[in-house]
């Protein structure tokens, strides 16, 4: 079974997405273009915009 949430290599488990700080382990944040959001509790973390270089 292939999972897009975990990467298993050399007997090491790596989570590919961030975990919700309110809900805890097992609940991942959805990755949108401008924010990270939890579908369970509604937590939202907006991605910072990089300043434009003139």
- pLDDT at position 2 is 61
Q: Is position 52 within any domain?
A: no
| Under 8 Å between Cβ of 13 and 25 | no
DSSP 49: P
Strand partners, 15: 6
Flag whether 11 is in a domain.
Answer: yes
Digit-coded pLDDT (tens) for 21-50: 999 988 999 999 999 999 999 999 998 877
- 23 located within any domain: yes
Specify if 41 maps to a domain: no
Query: What is the domain range of residue 20?
Result: 1-32
In a domain, 20, yes or no: yes
Q: Are 45 and 29 in contact (CB under 8 A)?
A: yes
Number of domains in the chain: 1
Q: Give the chain's length.
A: 54
Q: List pLDDT tens digits, range 2-11.
A: 678 888 889 8
CB atoms within 10 A of CB 19: 14
Query: Structure pTM?
Result: 0.71
């Amino acid at each position: 079974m292939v999972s897009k949430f975990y990467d298993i290599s050399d007997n090491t488990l790596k989570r590919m997405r961030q975990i919700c700080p309110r809900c805890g382990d097992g609940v991942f944040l959805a990755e949108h273009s401008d924010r990270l959001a939890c579908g369970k509790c509604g937590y939202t973390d907006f991605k910072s915009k990089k300043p434009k270089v003139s």
